[in-house]
Amino acid sequence: MEHIAMTVAGSDSGGGAGIQADIKTFAALGVYGASVVTALTAQNTCQVAGVHPSPPDFVALQIETVLSDIPVKAVKTGMLYSREIIEAVCEALTRNRTPNLVVDPVMIAKSGDSLLKPSAAVALKTRLIPMALVVTPNIPEACALTGIKINGVEDMKKAARAIAKMGAQNVVIKGGHMRGDKLTDILLTDGEVTEFKRDRIDTQHTHGTGCAFSSAITAGLAKGLSVIDSVETAERYIEGAIKNAEPLGEGHGPVNHFWNSL
């Protein structure tokens, strides 16, 4: 088995986001997925009713155990919840010289519930982001990380450069929270910005889009693609997953992770 990726993230009991979305995305793109559970959530399409974080030393043990045996080619992080978990993850990944790290700086659920303790933000910026090959914030996350108010694409570029100064090698900022019929995502790599434009899809079934998108990038890296090719593949994948989403639940339903096998 050649193409292997690992997700380090929280569990979504509703199945639309978190490690469930990550593993579905890996599978849909032909990549074997290993997983490290950072937290359990009681969650559905409407709310996050509760969060039970994993002990930091057990998070580290999961990482060490997987990497000691399985030849993982790329790793993504999602919900890490606390400073202690972030530090444990950073130390374990550093000890194992983990390649191709994609950091999805998960802070807020689609329902609006917080998924990152306030005290964890500094560790995210100073410990984890400097290790990242790619960082994939949405607009609210980019604003929180940089303090830059984002009202348009030029502001997105400023925020991307600010995140790159934190140490990230490449930065993708997702424009789905911007108003209008047209959406723009940007990729900052080697100081140059690439824009990805698409039409807005009129749907409320967007739960877990960030998880699926970052996992699709990770899958591309695990298959040996370049960063820009991995992002381009992820853009196509997530557009299809949103377009083909089917209603589920009373809130923000999940995307269709397996649309490409229909």
CATH at 114 = 3.40.1190.20
Q: Cα separations (Å) of 27 from 45, 65, 133, 218, 259?
A: 22, 22, 22, 12, 12
Query: Cα separation of 21 and 205, whole Å?
Result: 14
What predicted TM-score, i.e. pTM, was given to this entire model? 0.96
Angle (CA) 52-56-60 rounded to 5° is 125
Phi, psi of 5 (to 5 degrees): -130, 160
Query: Cα separation of 207 and 96, whole Å?
Result: 32
Q: Which of 24, 110, 125, 174 is catalytic?
A: 174
Q: Among this protein's residues, is 208 annotated catalytic?
A: yes
Confidence of residue 261 (pLDDT cuts 50, 70, 90): confident
Question: Does residue 49 surpass a pLDDT of 90?
Answer: yes
Q: Among this protein's residues, is 209 annotated catalytic?
A: yes
pLDDT score recorded for residue 202: 86
Q: Which of 208, 220, 223, 253 is catalytic?
A: 208
Query: Cα separation of 91 and 9, whole Å?
Result: 16
User: Strand, coil or helix: what is 91?
Assistant: helix
pLDDT score recorded for residue 110: 63
Question: Does residue 79 surpass a pLDDT of 90?
Answer: yes
Q: Which residues have C-beta within 8 Å of that of residue 165, sequence separation ≥ 6?
A: none
pLDDT, tens digit, 9 for 90 and up, residues 212-230? 999 999 999 999 999 999 9
193, exposed or middle or buried, with CB in 10 Å at 0-12, 13-18, 19+?
middle
pLDDT score recorded for residue 59: 99
- CB neighbours of residue 157 within 10 Å: 17
Compute the average pLDDT of residues 151-161.
96
Q: Which of 210, 218, 220, 223 is catalytic?
A: 210
Q: Which of 14, 16, 211, 223 is catalytic?
A: 211
Residue 36 DSSP label? E
Q: Which residues have C-beta within 8 Å of that of residue 31, sequence separation ≥ 6?
A: 3, 4, 5, 218, 219, 222, 223
Compute the average pLDDT of residues 31-48.
96
The fraction of the chain above a pLDDT of 90, given in percent, is 85
Q: Among this protein's residues, is 174 annotated catalytic?
A: yes
Q: Closest by alpha carbon to 134, among 160, 165, 103?
A: 103
pLDDT score recorded for residue 183: 92
Question: Does residue 176 surpass a pLDDT of 90?
Answer: no
pLDDT score recorded for residue 84: 97
Confidence of residue 117 (pLDDT cuts 50, 70, 90): confident
pLDDT score recorded for residue 112: 63
Q: Which of 25, 41, 146, 209 is catalytic?
A: 209
Query: Cα separation of 128 and 167, whole Å?
Result: 9
Confidence of residue 63 (pLDDT cuts 50, 70, 90): very high
22 lies in which domain range? 4-261
Compute the average pLDDT of residues 153-161.
97
Q: In the chain, how many domains are there?
A: 1
Q: Closest by alpha carbon to 256, among 197, 207, 189?
A: 207
